[in-house]
Amino acid sequence: MAVLRPMNEERRVMGRVTGSARRSVLLVGVLLSTFVCLARAQQGSVAAMFSDDQKRGEEIALSFATAELPPASGATFPAQIYLTGGDLERAFDTPRFRPDAAIVPTNTDLVITSSSPSTQRILIDRVRKQAPVMRGLQNQIDTRRKQAPAAGESGTLAIGTDWFVVQLTRGSKESGGAFPKSVCLVATDFDKGGAIDRRELFAQDRVRKGIAGCLAALDAAGVQSLVMPLMGAASSGTQAKDAAFEGQRVLKECRLLNSVAGIALGIHDFAPNRRSLREIGVIQWDRELDEMFSLPKGTRLAQTAQNVYRLYADQVKLAFRKGLAGEKTTPADVDGACSAIFST
């Protein structure tokens, strides 16, 4: 028995060491988990969406970009700007991506049941699921319609320059809902459609006014995070019979570039008076980018499509940076193309 005592003692010591090691490992795991949770909590909804978009859309991530607005007189903190490739639906439907507010296209008569513009339906399809919120939205619109229309305009709002902020919590005791609490509606089409081919209505200097106005109004309401799709960039069927869809693709490219430029200019105009906004997300529709530039790998034109996409990515990031600096994007910035779209 005397021989076994050291072995038993050794086992007891080893048991204490092993238990201590296990507790240490467990403690490290808990701490790491805590740090991860804290990091996620500190990451804003727009930043989280941008990060996820990068993982989901690696093939289109070259056209993603970030920028930072410096502190302003009314805000001691910077604001992050994200140009991403995703979907407004995901921003609304995914709770951790859902922002405080959104800028959403509408039509000049504020007919929210209209099919024009199509992006409006993403919001309305979700709001109508909560009848009290839908009634509150309609009441706000009815009140706005009673005001005098825009000067020289037949509709309630003028395309590009006019906007209208609505609260999506009025008249409802329900919490949640797959939409932000505040929305700024910007006119980008007529009730029956057709505005997209009137390019003078989407000049960068017009679009910037509507965007800057929306940002200022939402910022004044205390909004900290916001997303918006591209404005006035809807595709057209007028060139759909083009054999290789080359004309259609170029048309879309120019509209996307023009829209990003106008939005970035609006952000620039708003920035000096910023007070509460911390995150702004500008969403390029990923499905449209895929349709424009993605071809099955191994096909004869697949590499050509990727080369064209890389050129577009460089151009859209340039339009983004120039707009944030207060400079318009011109045909000279895109090798002389888009002169018909970049209307002044």
Checking if the pLDDT of 90 tops 90, the result is yes
Assess if residue 232 is contained within a domain: yes
- The model's confidence at residue 32, banded by pLDDT at 50, 70 and 90, is very low
- For 245-286, what is each residue's pLDDT tens digit? 456 778 889 999 999 999 999 999 999 999 999 999 999 999
- The residue ranking higher by pLDDT, 212 or 339, is 212
Checking if the pLDDT of 54 tops 70, the result is yes
Assess if residue 12 is contained within a domain: no
Assess if residue 160 is contained within a domain: yes
Question: For the sheet containing 225-229, what is the strand order?
Answer: 65-69, 79-86, 279-285, 225-229, 101-107, 182-189, 163-167
Q: Residue 76 corresponds to which tokens in the numbers above? A: 């001691």
In angstroms, the Cα distances linking 325 to 66, 67, 263, 275, 287 are 14, 11, 12, 19, 29
Residue 180 domain boundaries: 44-334
Checking if the pLDDT of 240 tops 80, the result is no
Assess if residue 5 is contained within a domain: no
Assess if residue 256 is contained within a domain: yes
| Region 40-66 average pLDDT | 87
Assess if residue 148 is contained within a domain: yes
pLDDT of residue 247: 62
How high is the mean pLDDT of the chain?
83
- Cβ–Cβ under 8 Å, residues 262 and 208: yes
Checking if the pLDDT of 52 tops 80, the result is yes
Assess if residue 10 is contained within a domain: no
Number of domains in the chain: 1
| Region 65-91 average pLDDT | 96
Q: The CATH number of the domain where 287 resides is what?
A: 3.40.220.10
Assess if residue 129 is contained within a domain: yes
